[in-house]
Homo-oligomer: A and B are copies of this chain.
Amino acid sequence: MSLDNPAAKPLDRLAHALGGDMERVAALIRERMQSDAAPRIPAVTAHLIEAGGKRLRPMLVLAAARLLGAEGAALQKAVQLGAVVEFIHTATLLHDDVVDESRQRRGRPTANLLWDNQSSVLVGDYLFARSFQIMVEVGSLRVLDLLSAASATIAEGEVLQLAAARDLGTTEATYLRIARGKTAALFAAATQAGAVVAGADAAREEALRRYGDALGIAFQIADDLLDIEGDAGIGKNRGDDLREGKMTLPVIRALAAADEEERLFWRRVLGRGELADGDVAQARALMERHGALASTRAEALAWAGRAKAALAALPDHPLRRILTDLADFVVTRTA
């Protein structure tokens, strides 16, 4: 199927539409993850970065920049910022896997399992510092401001998630704050930074920021659903969120409708973390009984709708159509 064909997968169409940009991002990533002093740094980084992530965040920077006509020096800055957001994302994955004590990521053993927690913490720190070095080369204080604020919001969201874990009183407002932090902040910073280097006016920059924010929230809600409904082949194990006591949206909604007996189940499984065989299936059954999966899916679709609506302020462009389809795709993806 041709990659210009609207029936092709949006991620493939996006990569195709960006031409050689993503190869330039990949080359920069390979160059900047090196360390003469400490060969363990590129080893750990390569393990994760070459495991075939979607590279969605760098594609968002480049799509935003190209949609607004970036070329030459502006496009080069977008390529650099593509490497920046992938480094920040990789740093957070390394730290998340330590925090969650994860054993599998992208279908491979995690770095904390293959090396140790120490290496994951320190290599994450290195990549984070490297990302700021590349931002300094881009030379825009505006972009540094966006991305340092996004980095603080990411860490804040993660701490909030940690504090809310196993807390059955977690509200949807707190959920949204966590989702914005751990996922949407970097999506929004990526699309907004792409707009900034393209020299966008305030309205278009804000439209792209809102697109990234809504896309990120839709993506995160879909991720919650995958933990319950996903195939075994998605690279993480079904029920991981449940096991880690994460207060995902379908859990919060199932809890809101739970009777006393169901609350005992949730208190044991989520509150105390005592998971027995069959509990993941039982959690799913309770969610289905109260329509929590359907309403969560509707919520994801609503955020995808907001993402698409934000694009209306942008010029007509093949990339705008792909970004529209991408919003639909992130909520229907199965991996």
Given the known interface contacts A130-B152, A152-B126, the answer about A162 and B99 at a Cβ–Cβ threshold of 8 Å is no
Task: Flag whether A37 is at the interface (Cβ < 8 A).
Answer: yes
A261 to chain B, nearest CB (A): 32
A-side interface residues, number (CB < 8 Å): 45
Bound complex: CA A128 to CA B98 (Å):
18
Asked whether A159 lies within 8 Å of B126 as measured between CB atoms, the reply is yes
Residues of B with C-beta under 8 A to A95: 121-122, 125
A48 to chain B, nearest CB (A): 15
Asked whether A122 lies within 8 Å of B37 as measured between CB atoms, the reply is no
Copies of the protein in its oligomer: 2
Name A209-235 residues within 8 Å CB distance of B. none
Closest residue of chain B to A39 (Cβ to Cβ) is B163
Residues of B with C-beta under 8 A to A280: none
Asked whether A156 lies within 8 Å of B121 as measured between CB atoms, the reply is no
Asked whether A156 lies within 8 Å of B117 as measured between CB atoms, the reply is no
Chain A residues within 8 Å of B, Cβ to Cβ? 35, 37-41, 92, 95, 98-99, 117-119, 121-126, 128-130, 132-133, 135-136, 139, 141, 144-145, 148-149, 151-152, 154-160, 162-163, 177, 181
